[in-house]
Amino acid sequence: MTSNIVYHKTSTSNKQALFLYKSMLKSRLIEEKMLILLRQGKISKWFSGIGQEAIAVGVTTALQKDEYILPMHRNLGVFTTREIPLYRLFSQWQGKMNGFTKGRDRSFHFGTQEYNIVGMISHLGPQLGIADGIALANKLKKNNKVCAVFTGEGGTSEGDFHEALNVAAVWNLPVLFCVENNGYGLSTPTSEQFNCINIADKGIGYGMESHMIDGNNILEVYTKVDELAKSIRTNPRPILLEFKTFRMRGHEEASGSKYVPEDLMKEWAEKDPLENFEYYLKEKAILSEEIEQQYKKEIIAEINEHLQRAFDEEKIIPNLETELKDVYKPFKYQETKPSSTKKHIRFVDAIADGLQLSMDKFDDLVIMGQDVAEYGGVFKITDGFVEKFGKERVRNTPICESAIVSAAYGLSVNGVKSIVEMQFADFVSSGFNPIVNLLAKSHYRWSENANVVVRMPCGAGVGAGPFHSQTNEAWFTKTPGLKVVYPAFPQDAKGLLASAIEDPNPVLFFEHKGLYRSVYQEVSEGYFTTEIGKATVLKEGKDLTIISYGAAVHWVLEALENLSEITVDVIDLRTLQPLDLETIFASAKKTGKILIVQEDSMFGGIASDLSALITENCFEYLDAPVKRVASLETPIPFQSDLEQQYLGKSKLTKAILDLYNY
């Protein structure tokens, strides 16, 4: 045999070369064993990286052990080169407790802080934005660390790829974007993925340095990445790397590889990274048959020993209590009591004050959003923040909600709190995926908290039309793992915002735009917190209960001013997830008549679930059907008369009287 890969002379020592060889060999031998176990039905799925080992091993070896790597599902070499005990990997793939996800996620969908690895989600693209956040935290800490993130050529078609590279370039973040171009995204060839010749060429559009590397040449991968990583540590910047390679098996084993032309498969088989490097090392008298056999013996023995350990491990016994408590990171609320000194301020001022005091309290807290810096945000809530806290902590972002939410998650992974301001709550749809699939599932999947608050200016009544007026809280109350807060008064807004920032779990914090400058209250000065998950009873009565939140609370109070003959329990929920069911049920049992009022349209909203919960838990106490008031089943119109017709406010008084007289 002659080598089909040209290995140029490098400064790599013989010892290092043997380490690279052994690391690739270990990955290959594990894979070969896993393919046997897959056929035996002892693991459920496998994504093969055979033919691509040089990339994972080379990149991981070039990075320091405390530098984060974000691999994909065929980067086994990342995990083994970081020296994760094999039995833990085998337990992960079998859904055992010694894995990393307690049986809740499969294969390589996991991360581990112990080994500075952040695993993928199947949506691929957000992984790149997470790397931005990790790198931003490194830059803020001035720790001279690099972050490397993997994706495939198919993933470069996603908008998240563009967003993440653009953010990294604009912010000059120390990230290595590693694209494994193996020719096919599942079965779709690159010719149907993009129309440029090389993915590396895309770096030009971002003003970003880029390189093409032979992904099957382990020496080229290692030496080039090592050189670039050292450079980035002293001169932080993003670099796009395209590794030319090929996968010798299907996207995953069930899909096969019949769509690949035989001559192409043969061509790449001749470029096998392990076989060619083995030949080269023997040719250079660096590797002998004796050493090769010794390596294989050691690795096979390790595989068999650790595999048996994983097989011997007990199956997970489902525990309902454990499953439920792991949705959120435990957080013991400790109240900071409000001052008796108060100031008459608007809702918007309370939000700004709460933000500023939290920025003082947490000196690494970062605010990110469109126009939040010098401009102060479209609602001027962060006006003056840049002068006080600096542009490193108050960051204007490009228009890219998905990458910024993902970056916020990356900041959290790297130990930094952040607040993301959606310019309007409606725009969150562009960042929906990382909120519901990264933030929400993070603690449940791999015990990693997502210390992120997403501020959501929302609501109608200001003539802003269908794209700027939604109150879309129900999109998120459905998703386990998110906390959803929606205050109606300035005092609550300030205290709950402080609590949301303290809480290590992801919080969607809704702020009704119509309340910003129309609602005033005596608000405690200084820093204080209000417990998330606790409703407040604004009025007490015996005739019926009205439950509401946000601007609709003010509709209720206004309507009751003209209905003095009726005494009512008025409950302001304040928090929609988790709900204060104790307060709700107690009032329902007391009055027997319940009206739920929301600004959102009726179907699928909070009122529907509340109605069901009250009916299921308080039915024998009810003297009437649970009633709901909500807005029309249409998008929100702009013209003022149409907008007023849309809102449920006009139906409220009649609904109260109808229920009272039932």
Q: In three state form, how does the secondary structure of 339-392 look?
A: CCCEEEEEHHHHHHHHHHHHHHHCCCCEEEECCCCCCCCCCCCCCCHHHHHCCC
Q: Under DSSP, is residue 323 helix (H, G, I), strand (E, B) or coil?
A: helix
Active site annotation includes 468 = yes
Element spanning 538, H or E? strand 536-539
Q: How far apart are CA 624 and CA 658, in angstroms?
A: 10
Which member of 109, 162, 251, 468 is catalytic?
468
CA torsion through residues 400, 401, 404, 406, sign = negative
Contacts of 215 (CB under 8 A, 6+ apart): 52, 54, 55, 180, 181, 182, 221, 243, 244, 245, 273
What is the separation, in whole angstroms, between the first and last Cα of the chain? 91
37-49 burial code (b ≥16 CB/10 A, e <16): bbeeeebeebbbb
446 φ/ψ sector (left φ>0, alpha ψ -120 to 50, else beta): alpha
Alpha-carbon distances of 612 from 28, 49, 388, 579, 607, rounded to whole Å? 54, 49, 48, 14, 9
Six token digits for residue 507 = 């919080």
Contacts of 518 (CB under 8 A, 6+ apart): 346, 347
Nearest CA to 361 out of 389, 396, 387 is that of: 389
Can you point out the beta strands (E) in 540-625? 544-548, 568-572, 575-577, 594-601
**Cα radius of gyration (the chain):** 28
Q: How far apart are CA 381 and CA 524, in angstroms?
A: 18
CA torsion through residues 504, 505, 506, 508, sign = negative
Alpha-carbon distances of 460 from 284, 457, 557, 633, 648, rounded to whole Å? 74, 10, 18, 14, 11
Q: How far apart are CA 23 and CA 26, in angstroms?
A: 5
Q: How far apart are CA 1 and CA 275, in angstroms?
A: 10
Q: Under DSSP, is residue 418 helix (H, G, I), strand (E, B) or coil?
A: strand
- Catalytic residues, which ones? 468
